Amino acid sequence: MAANPKRSGGDEADDDRLKRAKVADRDVAAAAAVADHPPATVVTTCATAAAAPRATVTPWIRFTPGAILFDRRLRTTFAAANPPLPTPTLLTFGCNAVGGVYARGGQITIVQGSLRVFTDAACTLPWPGIADPWTAGTIDIDNARLASFAPAYVLGGARGDVRLLLALDLDEAFMVNPPATAAALAVELTLELFRRAPNEAVMPPLRALGNGGRHVGVPANADIHSSRVHVRARASNPQGHGGRLVIQVRATDAGRLALFPNRVRTLGEADGFNVEFADADTDRWVAGLVAEPNGVVIGLGLRVGGATLAFGDCVRVRPIVEQPTSIGLEWENTSNLVQLHHSATGARITTTAFAASKATVFRSAVAPNMRVDTEINAAGQAYSEIVIGPAYNYTELEAMLAEVKRFVDAVILHRTCTARLPANIHSREAGNYATVLYLARRLVTFVNPYHQFGGTMQGTFAVPIWALATFIAELDGDDGSAAKTAAETWADAHAAADDACVGLITACEYYIRVFAGAPAVAAADGPKTRTTVMFRTDFCAMYAQLPAAQQAAFGVWAAGDARRGARLLPNGYACGGGFQPQGPQIGAWLDSVIAGGAGKDLMSPPPAFARHGTGEPIPYAMGLLGVDVVTQHVIAEYRVATWQTHTLNLYFTRVLDEWARRCELAGTATWVNTTGDWGPPPVGPARRHRGAAVAYTHIRAHPGDPNS
């Protein structure tokens, strides 16, 4: 088969194929001979061809993507008078019952909490037949509706967790021991949806200012739960037909999931799979322990009336242990001049040190959700950042990017742009970082006499450590991909290393590859200018995230690295007005990651920069932060995106895609299997069935209600 030209290296043959594909696509799109209506007979044929040779049962419910919630920063930054638009959680449910046990539909019941359910993404059309807000009652779902994948858009109705119950009816034709079992309620899946409750405490101005722009993209709420799925295996009803209910997991996947009786796993508690339950209501929680891209198959087996449907209904669960990644954006611009407006109600930022333009002031509200952070390098000379975020899903990301683009376009096109930013214009005093002039929601004038408004867009991510390898490789296809490959290759030969360990090794490998062969770094900003991905979190904090066994594995890798004697930044680098002739030895750096001297490794920051935590007025960015105190995620900055916001969109969307896949429980149902054996896969190329009995993520309170 043809190669994917993007991923296979993009040689000339691939480029040629891509060009041919584009030309052919255009030709087809423009061809009058190709019908714009369904080839109805083909659809019939397709349906026939797609008919399953074996009965399948694929009940599923899914919440996509990871919903956002307000956090303290967001709520403080965007006052109630100007809140971000609500982003609903998309809820879809379905049951592709081609045959088998469940073919009659079912019911979804809300058993805890409050939701508002709509049929449109704008959340203007309430779901028919459901009270708004929906706090009690059952929605009957017939099989036709289940099969239609009708989407529902859900907003939280009130503070608190939400619990839905999906109950699937047995098919009338299912007669193990007729007639009683035809009405038996076999399995109920309870879907728990957690949310991060907004913290309504107003951030004190000084704290807001001190925080401003420094921790973009980092959630700041303490109420975060890992995602879990509550599975309730019900006793056979009526009684007497049940032998046992079974929840099993494939042995090869053991350890990737845990099944335990309580929502929060007790430390040391054994994974609870492969246990047969009595014929009684049994509650268990399924949670991911380690990210598993291919998912883990668990079987909900039913033994009724002496006949066993071992693994009769299977769900594939993609476990998660972390929150979705968040993204914040900064637009950096050097050499700006900050002046107060004469009215003292705003400020002016001039992009050069020249006098203000006489051009007509262009007033715009292009960037209502942005703010401006400045950092003073010299008297009156500001280094400014236009900051927006964080975003937790595609909708917010796209809105953010659109706003950035509008803003940048306005500044480029007009000599003077006055934006009504909810801005925090900081101090004008040289070297002053923490004490700032607070001018929230005032006009800010950008003077651009030469139509030159250069800058760099940067994105700050909060990333689970187990996902670091993919993250780095996605954002830096050269050194990042090589680092990921090297780390995974090493881990393949060391079974003790898990994804988190690979994540840290990849991060180290990445710095080694970026810095080991670096020429002299003359840029005043020093080593960080060499990086595509810069870690704001220091490596000691990352190391501390690893369990003891993984720390040991990392230690084995670090001690055995053949490059220990070589140096990072061997040709030196600029550092705060001086020049450091060389960086640390790789071995010494890796040792410092483990030893955690003074709490920071030797590259956080690199030698000759003021060590973090020593009262430095403007700290160096590398390794300034620990992990996020709430999510324990690694904070990293993507530094090299430039003007092309569409490029940003693609990059960030792809990264967010990666997290979205990992950060929801989604999966694929397998075939009904009545023998207890897994049996062969479906005929032909494995046909993926939309599936998974359950998936869930966080939902948020209705954002239109400031008290929610």
DSSP strands (E only) in 25-105: 59-64, 89-95
Residue 401 near residue 649 (C-beta atoms within 8 A): yes
Question: Could you tell me whether strands 362-364 and 416-420 are parallel, antiparallel, or unpaired per DSSP bridges?
Answer: parallel
Q: Which of 269, 565, 657, 681 binds other proteins (CB under 8 A)?
A: 657
Which residue lies nearer to other proteins by CB, 151 or 703?
Answer: 151
C-beta closer to other proteins: residue 517 or 681: 681
Residue selected from 82, 345, 647, 675 as contacting other proteins according to rule CB under 8 A: 647
Among 40, 378, 379, 493, binds other proteins (CB under 8 A): 40
- Taking alpha carbons only, the member of 291, 389, 393 closest to residue 657 is 393
CA dist 329 → 23, 376, 382, 641 (Å): 36, 20, 19, 11
Among 59, 106, 151, 606, binds other proteins (CB under 8 A): 151
Q: Which residue of 240, 293, 454, 581 would you call a contact of other proteins, by CB under 8 A?
A: 293
Cβ contact 44:56 at 8 Å: no
DSSP states along 339-367: EE-TTSSSEEEESSSSPPP-SPPEEE-S-
Part in contact with other proteins (CB under 8 A); list of ranges 34-42, 630-638, 673-681, 692-700: 34-42
Beta strands in 271-415 (DSSP E): 275-277, 282-288, 296-304, 307-317, 326-340, 347-350, 362-364, 371-378, 381-391
Other Cβ atoms within 10 Å of 609 Cβ, number: 23
Name which position in 225, 441, 563, 661 contacts other proteins (CB under 8 A).
Answer: 661
H helices then E strands: how many in the chain? 13, 27
Establish if 267 lies at the interface with other proteins (CB under 8 A): no
- And the tokens for 123? 């959340």
**Stretch binding other proteins (CB under 8 A), from 6-14, 76-84, 448-456, 481-489:** 6-14
Joined together, the tokens standing for residue 170 give: 């047995």
Pairing of strands 347-350, 443-447: parallel
Residue 209 tokens, joined: 């200012």
- Smallest gap from residue 402 Cβ to other proteins (A): 15
- Minimum CB distance to other proteins smaller for 128 or for 685: 685
Phi/psi at 633 (nearest 5 deg)? -80, 155
Closest approach, Cβ 482 to other proteins, in A, equals 15
Q: Does 520 bind other proteins (CB under 8 A)?
A: no
16 sits in the region (left: phi over 0; alpha: psi -120 to 50; else beta) called: alpha
Nearer to other proteins, 50 or 81 (CB): 50
Separation CA 490–CA 557 (nearest Å):
8
Q: How far is the CB of 627 from other proteins (least distance, A)?
A: 27
In the list 178, 240, 261, 477, the residue contacting other proteins (rule: CB under 8 A) is: 477
Our finding on whether 684 is near other proteins (CB under 8 A) is yes
Closest CA to 606 of 586, 620, 593: 620
* Contact between 50 and other proteins per CB under 8 A: yes
Residues 99/102/105/111 CA torsion (nearest 10 deg): -160
* Interface pattern 426-465 for other proteins (x via CB under 8 A): ----------------------------------------
Query: Binding segment for other proteins among 15-23, 97-105, 530-538, 572-580 (CB under 8 A)?
Result: 15-23
* CB 21, min distance to other proteins, A: 4
Contact region with other proteins (CB under 8 A), list: 270-278, 455-463, 620-628, 654-662? 654-662
- Judged by CB under 8 A, which of 21, 111, 125, 222 binds other proteins? 21
Binding flag, residue 523, other proteins (CB under 8 A) = no
8 A C-beta contact, residue 108 and residue 130 = no
Q: Binding of other proteins at residue 686 (CB under 8 A)?
A: yes
Smallest gap, in angstroms, from Cβ of residue 60 to other proteins?
Answer: 13
What minimum distance in Å lies between the beta carbon of 686 and other proteins? Answer: 6
User: Does 36 sit near other proteins (CB under 8 A)?
Assistant: yes
Give the number of residues in contact with other proteins, rule: CB under 8 A: 48
Of the two residues 1 and 201, which places its CB atom closer to other proteins in the complex? 1
Where in 539-558 is the site for other proteins (CB under 8 A)? Answer: none
The answer to whether 3 contacts other proteins (rule: CB under 8 A) is yes
Sheet strands (E) in 205-325? 228-233, 242-249, 257-260, 275-277, 282-288, 296-304, 307-317
Nearer to other proteins by Cβ, of 44 and 675: the residue is: 44
Structure tokens at 380: 């009156």
Distance CA 216, CA 175 (A): 59
Cβ closest to other proteins, residue 64 vs residue 177? 64
Residues 95-134 touching other proteins, rule: CB under 8 A, are: 121
How far apart, in whole angstroms, are the C-alpha atoms of residue 123 and residue 139? 19
Q: Which residues bind other proteins (CB under 8 A)?
A: 1-7, 10, 17-18, 20-22, 24-25, 28-29, 31, 34-47, 49-50, 121, 151, 293, 477, 647, 650, 654, 657, 660-661, 684-686, 688
